[in-house]
Amino acid sequence: MMGFTIALAGNPNCGKTTLFNKLTGASQRVGNWPGVTIDRKTGKIRGMTDAELVDTPGIYSLSPYSPEEVVTRNFLLEGNPDAVINIVDATNIERNLFLTLQILDTGIPTVVALNMMDTIEKEGGSVDAKALSEKLGCPVIPISALKSEGLKELVEAAATAANECARPAAIKFGDDIESLISETESALADKVPEEKRRWYAVKLAEKDATVSEQFPEIAESLKEKSAAVEESYGDEMDSVISDARYEIIGGLVSGSVKRAEKDEKDGTLSDRIDRIVTHRIAGIPIFIGVLGAVFLGIIGFGDITGIGTYLTDWLNGYIEDPIGTSVEQWCADNNVSEPLTGLIMSAFIGGVGAVIGFLPQMLVLFLALCILEDIGYMARAAFVMDRVFRFFGLSGKSFIPILVGTGCGVPGIMATRTIESDRDRRITAMSVTFMPCGAKLPIIALIAGALFGNNGFVALFAYVLGIVVILMSGIILKKWRSLAGEPAPFIMELPPYHLPSVLNVIKGTLDRGWAFVKKAGTIILLASVFVWFLASYDPSFNYLGADATTDSILQTIGQAVCVIFQPLGWADHWELTVGTVTGLIAKENLVGTLGTLFSLDEVGDAGEEYWDILAAYLTPAAGMAFLVFNLLCAPCFAAIGAMHRELGTWKATGMAVAYQCCIAYMVASIIYVIGSLIWGTSAEISGIVIAILSVAALVYLLVAKDPFLIMDKIGKKEEAVAE
Ligand code: GDP
Ligand code: MG
């Protein structure tokens, strides 16, 4: 027997990955949340030497909305699978068959796997697979992926279909539509292989955008005839055809599907819970309550330490002592040179250690979120928030990453993975770090303590500012060419509630934690080594000794570039610029760096020792501008690395960082001038000029319909020149 490839295709959340894992023995992530599989995965079917199985992202239709749906469509059409297993969620059979009909059109040998039969049976319903199979013209195998029932029969049927190349017969629409299709099929005769012709013809009749672009003349020649059909149905072609599909589905289902007797008035328990948690008004406070509880439990509040904070404090302490102290001792005992000791202590223990210290916090947070996700609550939360966020051009699913980002930007950015639409995912990944993360809290405490008598409103201001800038970015970024378009339609359906699966939850938690550790071991280490070098050597490369930052290369650079912060009111003090740079390693570094630069031996968490120095250096307005710039500008290297993972290229990551720095600069200059007015202090002239320009620019970006048009034109010119 020759080797063959079998594709798995189906709606989101119908059990594809569960089946894939069962058949291949792999352990891909399964989530009770549509959109978990965002790439194709390939594996060998167990017990068969030459059969390859390809898991694809879930789709509702072969006219895709979002990039990962394109992955599936392209694989089915161009990947030449020998057969496709179309998984149908039997509890939602009508909507799932909508895709099935389109798959049958592709002419690929198809086997329908009727999944979730355990649920159907439990509820007392039934599906006559044999009758359905006769009507569909392809094998229909009842299975339960979860309980491993019917899998052997399924694999056999798929192998037979692939071997015999059993192409399904088309299921025909009414005569008027069919005559349009068959005419198109003849026009496609020398362009598309015979077995796929019907699929392309139907898509052309539907006026599918991608296929119409592929065959513009045929699409053009169809216009007149389809106008006649549209006239007679009084509807657009795509609706005419989808109505026709649902009519066919009605015929398929009647007589072969028997539904469980449900209490019509109250619905299932799941329905009743949903009526409360997704309620238009009550849904939002419930959501805030659930997440509030999670966050209080993990991060803590006031004098109460949350479990995550507790563990992180412990690990941070442990890394410092005994690990740090014994490494230092070991270096001393073994005559390790001073610079090398400095490198090890500051880059490994200080830089990477500080980041690893956050790991327990993150693991506990991931664990809680994975549980909420697995029981099915996260899908409801996204549904509730969608109404609010859509107004600003973001989708409801953006809310979770932003929330996670208040703990740490890295997992926040990684949590954007669950957003299906590429556009929403990118915009969210670029905005998450505007929210103050845990590591920015010391900076807030520093400014609040030094300049505002520890006023709690400084912290509140930081969070409100974060949200405002995120919502603003939603409006601005969606106007960017490569991010254009409406937020993806929210067609995610609500998955059933169930008890969390221990394996799923643990795997999900460890996967995300491991990704973070890898990052800490690579990019953060490199960046830490680099900054250590700049801070420990003078411009003629003489080693300055541990903890010396004066006379260093960093100071030289700081003195040279600090002039750009003149409009923000803190250019006269290069130490602040250097602190901003070292904050890129980890934001809380800023407080320690300033301590070193002010030649202090001991510096507390919020830099209490030098509050008076800062108060002498900065007006309150300049202090606010300093704080705002550091909150909003490029995040730490770890978060930049995470952005790179989600955005895909360094170019896109660079653009994102540039965007963040520009916004930070603009907002900080505005705050500086407003603050100077409020507190009646003098402001730099350059600051006033920049602030006025910034207000104009922000208003323009928010109001103009196509503010990036000029940039696009420049981009096009560059491309033309390059050619
Ligand atoms: P995918 O999005 O299509 O890849 O779906 P997943 O494999 O991630 O599964 C979605 C959800 O359906 C998970 O919570 C699974 O545990 C659940 N599930 C999958 N197969 C079955 C089944 O046969 N019976 C039941 N009751 N649940 C299932
Ligand atoms: Mg999946």
pLDDT confidence bin for 35, thresholds 50/70/90: very low
- Please report the atom of ligand 1 found closest to the CA of residue 115: 23
State mean pLDDT over 438-459: 84
More confident residue, 588 or 245: 245
User: At residue 81, what is the residue type?
Assistant: P
Q: What is the pLDDT of residues 68-80, one digit of tens each?
A: 677 788 888 888 8
Residue 58 Cβ contacting ligand 1 at under 6 Å: yes
The predicted pLDDT at position 432 comes to: 94
Q: Judge if the beta carbon of residue 119 lies within 6 A of ligand 1.
A: yes
For residue 479, what pLDDT is reported? 81
- Whole-number Cα distances in Å, 667 to 49, 209, 565, 570, 625: 61, 41, 13, 15, 8
Strands 51-55 and 4-10: parallel
In which band, very low, low, confident or very high, does the pLDDT at 549 lie, cut at 50, 70 and 90? low
The number of the ligand 1 atom at minimal distance from the alpha carbon of 13 is 2
Q: Which residues of 603-619 are buried (b: 16+ CB within 10 A; e: fewer)?
A: bbebbeebbebbeebbb
Q: How far is the CA of 89 from the centre of ligand 1 (A)?
A: 9
Q: In the predicted model, what is the mean pLDDT of residues 386-394?
A: 78
Query: Which amino acid would we find at residue 8?
Result: L
Q: Quick one: pLDDT band at residue 38, thresholds 50, 70, 90? A: very low
Lowest mean pLDDT among 154-163, 514-523, 630-639, 650-659: 514-523
pTM for the predicted model, two decimal places: 0.59
Cβ–ligand 1 contact at 18 (below 6 Å): yes
What number is the average pLDDT over the span 221-242? 87
Q: Are strands 140-142 and 110-115 parallel, antiparallel or unpaired?
A: parallel
Alpha carbons within 13 A on the beta-carbon side of 170: 19
144, β-bridge pairs: 149
Does the beta carbon of 31 sit less than 6 angstroms from any atom of ligand 1? Answer: yes
Q: How high is the pLDDT of residue 547?
A: 60
Nearest CA to ligand 1 atom 21: 146
pLDDT of 309 above 60? yes
Ion ligand 2: protein residues whose beta carbon lies under 5 Å: 16-17, 36-37
User: At residue 374, does pLDDT exceed 70?
Assistant: yes
Residue with tokens 């420990």: 536
Say whether pLDDT at 61 is over 80: no
CA of 58 to the centre of ligand 2 (A): 7
Token representation of residue 680: 């009646």
Mutate to test the pocket of ligand 1, among 20, 30, 377 (most ligand atoms within 8 A of CB): 30
User: How much is the pLDDT for 156?
Assistant: 92
Average pLDDT, the chain: 83
Which atom of ligand 1 is nearest to 21's Cα? 7
Return the number of other C-beta atoms located less than 10 Å from residue 314's C-beta.
Answer: 12
- Which two three-digit tokens encode residue 106? 């592709």
pLDDT at residue 32 in the model: 47
Residue 696 Cα to ligand 2 midpoint, Å, equals: 46
Instruction: Pick the residue whose CA is nearest to atom 18 on ligand 1.
Output: 15
Ligand at shortest distance from the CA of 31: 1
User: What tokens does 654 get?
Assistant: 């660079």
- The runs of H, that is alpha helices, within 300-356 are 307-318, 325-333, 338-343, 353-356
Between residues 701 and 492, the one the model is more confident about: 701
Is residue 223's pLDDT more than 70? yes
Q: 143-175, pLDDT tens digit by residue?
A: 999 999 999 999 999 999 998 888 888 888 988
Q: Is the pLDDT of residue 493 over 70?
A: no
Contact 688, 645 (CB under 8 A): no
What is the helix (H) or strand (E) element at residue 645, kind and residue range?
helix 637-647
Is residue 484's pLDDT more than 80? Answer: no
Work out the average pLDDT over 692-703: 93
Q: At residue 528, does pLDDT exceed 50?
A: yes
- φ/ψ of 306, rounded to 5, equals -75, 165
Decide if pLDDT at 678 tops 90: yes
Q: Which of 327-331, 436-440, 688-692 has the highest mean pLDDT?
A: 688-692
Q: How confident is the model at residue 301 (pLDDT cuts 50, 70, 90)?
A: low
Q: Alpha-carbon distance 64 to 66, whole Å? A: 6
118 Cβ closer than 6 Å to some ligand 1 atom: yes
Ligand 1 atom with minimal separation from the 498 CA: 14
116 lines ligand 1 (CB under 6 A): yes
As a whole number of angstroms, the distance between CA 602 and CA 381 comes to 45
Report whether pLDDT(623) > 90: yes
Q: Is the pLDDT of residue 606 over 80?
A: no
Q: What is the pLDDT of residues 261-272, one digit of tens each?
A: 654 455 677 778
Summary count for the chain: helices (H), strands (E): 35, 10
Q: CA-to-CA distance for 472 and 73, rounded, in angstroms?
A: 34
- Residue 114 in contact with ligand 1 by CB distance below 6 A: no
Q: Residue 297 belongs to what H/E stretch?
A: helix 283-299
Contact present, 62 and 54 (Cβ < 8 Å)? no
**Is 41 close to ligand 1, i.e. is its CB under 6 Å away?**
no
Our answer on whether the CB atom of 36 is closer than 6 Å to any ligand 1 atom is yes
Peptide bond connecting 64 to the previous residue in cis, omega within 30 degrees of 0: no
Higher pLDDT, 171 or 39: 171
- Closest ligand 1 atom, residue 19 Cα: 7
How much distance in Å is there from the Cα of 26 to the middle of ligand 2?
A: 13
pLDDT category of residue 714 using cuts at 50, 70 and 90: low
Which ligand 1 atom sits nearest the alpha carbon of residue 147?
23
> Measured between alpha carbons, how far apart are the two ends of the chain, in Å?
49
- Quick one: pLDDT band at residue 339, thresholds 50, 70, 90? confident
Question: Among the listed ranges 186-195, 334-343, 490-499, 526-535, which one has the minimum average pLDDT value?
Answer: 490-499
The answer to whether 622 and 576 have CB atoms below 8 angstroms apart is no
pLDDT more than 70, % of the chain: 87
**Cβ of residue 62 lying under 6 Å from some atom of ligand 1:** no
Condensed to tens digits (0 to 9), the pLDDT of residues 400-438 reads 788 778 777 887 888 787 676 778 888 999 999 999 887
**CB of 92 closer than 6 angstroms to any ligand 1 atom:** no
Cα of 32 vs centre of ligand 1, distance in Å, is 7
Res. 47 pLDDT band, cuts 50 70 90: confident
Taking only the tens place, the pLDDT of each residue in 352-372 is 776 677 678 778 877 887 888
Q: Which of 11, 13, 417, 497 to mutate to test the pocket of ligand 1 (most atoms within 8 A of CB)?
A: 13
CA of 214 to the centre of ligand 2 (A): 30
Summarize pLDDT for 558-604 with one digit per residue, the tens: 888 889 999 999 888 888 998 898 888 778 778 777 877 776 666 66
Nearest-atom index, ligand 1, CA of 36: 2
Domains of the chain in sequence order: 4-164 (3.40.50.300), 175-258 (1.10.287.1770), 288-713 (no CATH)
Closest atom of ligand 1 to CA, residue 374 = 14
Q: Which atom of ligand 1 lies at the shortest distance from residue 30's CA?
A: 8
Q: What is the pLDDT of residue 260?
A: 67
How many A from CA of 642 to the centre of ligand 2?
22
| Confidence band of 1 (pLDDT split at 50, 70, 90) | very low
Query: What's the confidence (pLDDT) of residue 372?
Result: 86
Q: How confident is the model at residue 37 (pLDDT cuts 50, 70, 90)?
A: very low
